[in-house]
Structure 1
Amino acid sequence: MQQVHINRLGVNSIEFESDIVEIPLSPGGEHSFEIVIINYGSPTHVHLSASDGLQDNLTFLEDNPYVSHEEYIPVIARIPFDGRLLNKGKIFVTVGYGSKTESFTVNIGMSDTGNGPAPIDIDERLSSPAPVVTRNKESDSGRHLSDIFPGISESFVQIFDARNLVLFSALIIILALIYIAVRLVSGNNMEIGLEVDFYTALAFTIVFTSLIAYLLTRLPIFKNK
């Protein structure tokens, strides 16, 4: 807001509350403010106008008001999208039917010095292209296969180590004994002519089953690694 005092110091005298009015705006922005004209003398017309540098940035909603005591004049300030960041000029106040004119300075926008983003240092090495590394497809495929087969061989060695091989053989033998026991329980004699009664065969079956359960629990696959 700007206050303008007329006829306070004498006939057609003009005084301003502020010599400079700052209106911070960005391109595409718009702001409205008021000029308050206070008359200490006879009612009169007051003419308002802008200098050439601000004619495209200022619009007076009433540029020739009749002021009897106090009037509020709305003014719209704007900067076009393609306009300058900072627009400087003056607003002229004329009284006494053109006999006396005074002005105050208006700055619309923002100075681009000190308000812009800080410069960023860029390493010049980033602008050079990265070296291109050519790779032989045959060597890559050979390396890939060589990486796969050692892994497979190590897996077989881990599975068929000496201890697991012994347990596997024992499991085969136990399964064969179970088969013989089942044949005996069912009443079928073996070709060697061995005859065993029912209770003896049942006892052998229980023992063999317990042994199998014990051996299975000892296998590596049932242990936590």
Structure 2
Amino acid sequence: MHVNRASLHSLEVADRFETDDSFEILLINHGEPTHVHLHVDDALSELASIEAPNHHVERESERRVRVTVHSHGSTFGKLKIATSYGAETRYVDVDIDEPIETEEPVQVDESLSKPQPRSDGRDDATGVSAVPWPLLALGLVAVALALVVAAWVGGTAAWLGAFVVVAAVAVATALAVGE
């Protein structure tokens, strides 16, 4: 709905509106600050209500007003819109229809009764993480290489380095399996 677009206090609204659920009225002010009064007639008020009747809309701004349909049913009525305390008034025909119920069945099969794989890699039955075989294989290669190099080079420093590699692989494997 446009306010103050053609002239001061002017209103441009749709002639008719149809819905089956709650909706919002968008007040678009193209000019000076103004007050907009919204009112649903008796027929509409049986199914719908407006959060507040009076709304101040700042210069060159927009404001949304919620109209809540609070019960199911069908009705036809009028929404009254007035600017600047009645300087300009328009009526919109509002047709609220009963919501159409769609029956979309939910398909359930036997696969729902079986344990599903977990995204975190744990076994559903035990809660223990599955062994990350590629990581374990890489760790064993690293340990074997460290031991071969330590035996070939010899000396305390080489064996100390091999021990550090073995310990690091053991810790990494324990952390990966225990997650």
Instruction: Give the TM-score of the pair, scaled to structure 1.
Output: 0.41
Q: Residues 8 and 40 of structure 1 are in contact (CA less than 8 Å); yes or no, is this contact kept in structure 2?
A: yes
Shift of 1:103: 1.1
2:137 is matched with which residue?
none
Are the counterparts in 2 of residues 36 and 71 from structure 1 also a CA contact under 8 Å? Answer: yes
Take 2:8 and 2:25, find their aligned partners in 1: how far apart are those partners? 20
- Picking from 58, 65, 68, the partner of 1:73 is 65
Give the gaps of 5 or more residues in structure 2: 100-179
Q: Which residue of 2 aligns with 1:22?
A: 18
Distance 2:36 2:76 in 1: 23
Of 95, 101, 106 in structure 1, the residue corresponding to residue 94 of structure 2 is 106
Q: Tell me how far 1:77 sits from its aligned partner.
A: 1.3
Q: Partner residue of 1:34?
A: 24
Shift of 1:110: 4.0
Paired residue secondary structure (1:34)? strand
Report how far residue 89 of structure 1 moved.
0.4
Q: 2:7 aligns with which of 10, 13, 23?
A: 10
Would the aligned equivalents of 1:79 and 1:109 in 2 still touch at CA under 8 Å?
A: no
Displacement after TM superposition at 1:78 (Å): 3.2
In 1, the alpha carbon distance for the partners of 2:8 and 2:26 equals 19
- AA matched with 2:70: R
SS, match of residue 23 in structure 2: strand
Give the alignment partner of residue 86 of structure 1, picking from 57, 66, 74: 74
Code of the aligned partner of 1:10: S
- The letter for the 1-side match of 2:5 is R
Percentage of pairs with the same residue: 34
Higher Cα Rg, which structure: 1
Moved more, 32-41 or 57-66: 57-66
Offset of residue 62 of structure 1: 2.4
After superposition, the CA RMSD in angstroms is 2.3
How far 1:44 sits from its partner (Å)?
1.1
1:75, distance to aligned residue in structure 2 (A): 1.0
Whether contact under 8 Å (1:20, 1:104) holds in the other structure is yes
**In the alignment, which residue of structure 1 is the partner of 2:126?**
none
Contact between 2:9 and 2:34, CA under 8 Å: does it hold in 1?
Answer: no
Matches within 5 A, 1:1-225: 4-16=1-13, 18-24=14-20, 31-68=21-58, 69-79=61-71, 85-110=73-98
2:6 & 2:79 partners in 1: Cα distance?
21
Q: Is the 8 A contact 2:37 2:53 kept in 1?
A: yes
Kindly report structure 1 stretches of 4+ aligned residues shifted beyond 6 Å: none
Whole-angstrom distance in 2 between the partners of 1:34 and 1:13: 20
In the TM superposition, what is the alpha-carbon distance from 1:23 to its structure 2 partner?
1.4
Alpha-carbon contact 2:48-2:70 (below 8 Å) kept: yes
CA contact (8 A) 1:43 1:66 kept: yes
